[in-house]
Amino acid sequence: MLNSLQNHQWIRRIGLCLLFFLIVILLYYPTMGSLPFWDDWYFIFKSWTLKNVNPIEFWKWGNHRRSWPVFYTSVSLLLKLWGTKVIYYHLLSVILHSINGLLLYKLLKELKSSYAFWLAILYVVHPAHFFTVAWIVQVKTLMAITFFLMSFIFFLQRDKKLNYALSILFFLLSVLSKSVFTPLILLMPFSKYRKILLPFMIIALYSISLTLWSSHLKSPQTALVKNHYQYYLIKKSTSPMVFATGPVRPAPIPQEKYENPMAKVSLSMANLTKYVVFSFYPWKTLLVHPMTTLNDSYTDFAINFIVILLIATTILFYYSINDTLFLYSSASYLLLILPLCGAIYIPIFHYSNFVDYWLSAPLIAFVFCLSRITQKKILLPLLTFMICFMTIKTFSNARKMKTPNEMISLSIESSPKNPLIQMMLAKQFFYEGNFVESNSILLKIKKDYSLEKEKIDNEIELNLKKMNGEFVDDQTL
């Protein structure tokens, strides 16, 4: 009888694993053969660092020191194993995302959350993950999520010393895969024994200091600035920027707009509203959304005010009933989103940015918040609508954006006056070997925008050399 029960449990577990994998593979199948794009070239396939530096160097304090040593080490090994066979990298992302859904389900079950299975499904199908899963370099985000969820599960089973040690280890691997996950530590302090969190706090502080060192303290002179759109931001911006290894995110607004403190507050409120609304209702998935601009209309102000009032009222309600899980979850969600809104200064995030794939981390806390809605008459219809809508939306995204060119082109349509996205497309054509199309875009940029003409000319010359069959070392890092 006991053996039969155990066999039944194993069949159920295998069935759940296959179900989550099947859902993710069906949603993202159209993108499985997609070529690398944007950061994929810089961080992986054209990276001088990955091809020439011993992975041990990523863990040392020196020129190759980065805040993501787990990611760099993993990818350097995968590059040696798989080379440029992108299908394997896409398959890895799909597997990791399905594992994350399964781990989240197990975690919610451990916490006795309502509708744990459907909340995990909601997380998996959310369109905010589209670029996280379809974009090869974002495997760092998926890895960080996997390690964090494993850390949290072992943390809840910390009665055994081994489980507590494993929880610390997986948390370390998480924040060294992507340091943005440090605020998720707030999901752990349900225990009254706060001292057991000390190792996690030390790891979080180390990760934050490492990120600050690689972004703020490395000057433009010592950092490796060698990509095709950083030069514009360096030239135009007077604030500190991140130079370490990848492109600065597009869509900055002019510095003079930052001078008015109320303008900063208004832009931060507008972006906070966007992220909260997008968590519930992801209206349009784009690689780069149009800039958020100051708008003095009463409608916009009313929407922002209502959203913030609802957040404050909800938090106060759960505080009044002493629901610590909701309070810690909402604190994690807000701490992960506020830097993206400009409310907390981080140099790669501008007040005008809104990029949906940055929600992959906050959505973990968001799902925990939803799990605290105990009224079935509210939660069940809400989950049903969100899952149906988001499944259709994500699959539609995958069909509509099967290639990098389609992904970038949709952002150009939404932000036609942003030359940085156009330069991204020009470089994409360059790496695909379509040098004629790349040059036509560069010539248009040179004509329409007052960017550094010398830099554009260098890009054009590079295309011409490739067209003439000349050898060009196009490794960018």
Instruction: Of 126-135, 264-273, 301-310, 353-362, give the lowest mean pLDDT range.
Output: 264-273
Query: Higher pLDDT residue, 281 or 188?
Result: 281
Q: Residue 145 domain-assigned? A: yes
Same domain, 221 and 367: yes
Same domain, 378 and 419: no
Q: What token pair was written down for 245?
A: 């290894």
Quickly state the pLDDT bin for 335 (edges 50, 70, 90).
confident
Q: Residue 12 domain-assigned? A: yes
Same domain, 339 and 387: yes
Quickly state the pLDDT bin for 169 (edges 50, 70, 90).
very high
Number of domains in the chain: 2
How far is Cα 285 from Cα 44, in angstroms, rounded to an integer?
Answer: 24
Find the angle CA(113)-CA(28)-CA(356) to the nearest 5 degrees: 65
Quickly state the pLDDT bin for 267 (edges 50, 70, 90).
confident
Asked if pLDDT for residue 315 goes beyond 80, the answer is: yes
Same domain, 43 and 177: yes
Query: Higher pLDDT residue, 299 or 153?
Result: 153
Q: What is the pLDDT of residue 69?
A: 86
Q: In this structure, what is the dihedral angle of CA atoms 52, 58, 59, 63, given to the nearest 10 degrees?
A: 100
Asked if pLDDT for residue 200 goes beyond 90, the answer is: no
Q: What is the pLDDT of residue 218?
A: 44
Same domain, 419 and 388: no
Diameter over CA atoms, the chain: 78
Asked if pLDDT for residue 191 goes beyond 80, the answer is: no
Same domain, 292 and 420: no
Q: What token pair was written down for 219?
A: 């000057």
Asked if pLDDT for residue 258 goes beyond 80, the answer is: no
Asked if pLDDT for residue 64 goes beyond 80, the answer is: no
Q: Residue 360 domain-assigned? A: yes
Same domain, 394 and 417: no
Quickly state the pLDDT bin for 396 (edges 50, 70, 90).
very high
Please answer whether residues 146 and 96 qualify as being in contact, where contact means their C-beta atoms are separated by less than 8 angstroms: yes
Instruction: Of 52-66, 162-176, 243-257, 426-440, give the lowest mean pLDDT range.
Output: 243-257
Q: What is the pLDDT of residue 365?
A: 92
How far is Cα 427 from Cα 199, in angstroms, rounded to an integer?
Answer: 44
Domain that includes residue 428, residue range: 413-467
Q: What is the pLDDT of residue 62?
A: 57
Same domain, 380 and 452: no
Q: What is the pLDDT of residue 250?
A: 38
Same domain, 75 and 216: yes
Distances (CA, A) of 282 to 77, 152, 392, 414: 35, 27, 11, 16
Q: Residue 477 domain-assigned? A: no
Q: Residue 54 domain-assigned? A: yes
Nearest partner of 361 among 339, 338, 319, 332, judged by Cα: 332
Q: What is the pLDDT of residue 368?
A: 93
Q: What is the pLDDT of residue 270?
A: 83
Q: Residue 472 domain-assigned? A: no
Asked if pLDDT for residue 290 goes beyond 90, the answer is: no
Same domain, 78 and 165: yes
Q: Residue 200 domain-assigned? A: yes
Find the angle CA(334)-CA(259)-CA(411) to the nearest 5 degrees: 60
Query: Higher pLDDT residue, 90 or 229?
Result: 90
Rounded mean pLDDT, 426-451: 85
Question: Which amino acid is it at 170?
Answer: F
Q: Residue 476 domain-assigned? A: no
Q: pTM of the full predicted structure?
A: 0.86
Average pLDDT score over the chain: 79
Same domain, 317 and 352: yes
How far is Cα 139 from Cα 285, in angstroms, rounded to an integer?
Answer: 19
Rounded mean pLDDT, 52-65: 72
Asked if pLDDT for residue 216 goes beyond 70, the answer is: no
Same domain, 361 and 418: no
Q: What token pair was written down for 251?
A: 């869509």
